[in-house]
Amino acid sequence: MLEFNLLGQLPRCVREVKSRVATKEESRQLALKFGREYFDGTREQGYGGYHYDGRWSAIAKRAIEHWQLKPGDRVLDIGCAKGFFVKDLRDALPGLEVIGIDISDYALMSAHPDAQPHLLRASCDDLPFDDNSFRAVFAINTIHNLESERCLRALREIERVCPGGGFVQVDAYRTEAERTLFLDWMLTAKTFDTPAGWLKTFAAANYGGLYWWTILEHDDAAGT
Ligand SMILES: C[S@@+](CC[C@H](N)C(=O)[O-])C[C@H]1O[C@@H](n2cnc3c(N)ncnc32)[C@H](O)[C@@H]1O
């Protein structure tokens, strides 16, 4: 298990925490359906519009370089949403076999047309793939949406289909102030912890891949 900031090049986005707090519980119930409201509703309900803008292209190149991927290799994006990372990985390395899975019918139906044929509906805690069948598996801001037992199962599943080759990014906080900010902003996460707490979870699942944290810092939060 090693830290790896795969998404480090993405610009940080400012979050209007106060505006979300006002309608939090109602928005949370909607967001948890991972339907239209979560992806393409208001910012209070989720992404506030989840559109392809090419931002995953640099991440795809970094992943290909880090995992030393070659045409013919097979990789999986867990919680692929509308398949933007799947598309950019395929574009960055022709011949790379990329599969995306998600539980959201809405995201899969409204996925990027280049990615759509390579996406399927499945849950991260029950992967419909053989043992050791991928060179790399990415689960970016996805497994923390499951309750702790299922989250553990998801980590074991990643390790099963891609021993040592996984990458997970999960919600975390380091201080009480970050935890408060996170609780005010977060809509869908069901398992969250400090980095030290997550490391125990990774160890309990015998997860041997890479990991990084999504941490909401005070500078990212407008209106607080
Ligand atoms: C925060 S979004 C992240 C999307 C994408 N990975 C990204 O970083 O932009 C979380 C994604 O996880 C998906 N998801 C939630 N529960 C899931 C599950 N049990 N199995 C697979 N995907 C799930 C949601 O539908 C959503 O697309």
The CATH number corresponding to 2-222 among 3.90.1150.10, 3.40.50.720, 3.40.50.150, 1.10.10.10 equals: 3.40.50.150
Q: From CA 98, how far away is CA 84, in angstroms rounded?
A: 11
pLDDT above 90 (res 218)? no
Q: From CA 48, how far away is CA 56, in angstroms rounded?
A: 18
Residues with C-beta less than 6 Å from any ligand 1 atom: 34, 78-79, 81, 101-104, 107, 123-124, 140-142, 145-146
Tell me if 136 sits within 8 A of 180, measured CB to CB.
Answer: no
Structural domain spans, the chain: 2-222
Q: From CA 96, how far away is CA 70, in angstroms rounded?
A: 7
SS3 of 211, please? strand
Per-residue pLDDT reduced to its tens digit, 116-139: 999 999 999 999 999 999 999 999
pLDDT above 70 (res 224)? no
pLDDT above 90 (res 172)? yes
How far is ligand 1, taken at its centre, from the CA of residue 182, in Å?
18
Cα 146–Cα 165–Cα 116 angle in degrees, nearest 5: 65
Tell me if 135 sits within 8 A of 73, measured CB to CB.
Answer: yes
Q: Ligand 1: which of 40, 51, 99, 103 to mutate, most ligand atoms within 8 Å of CB? A: 103
8: which 2 tokens? 């480090």
Query: HSE on the CB side for 126, CA within 13 Å?
Result: 4
Q: Residue of the nearest CA to atom 4 in ligand 1?
A: 81
pLDDT above 50 (res 147)? yes
pLDDT above 80 (res 1)? no
Per-residue pLDDT reduced to its tens digit, 15-70: 888 878 888 999 999 999 999 999 999 999 999 999 999 999 999 999 999 999 99
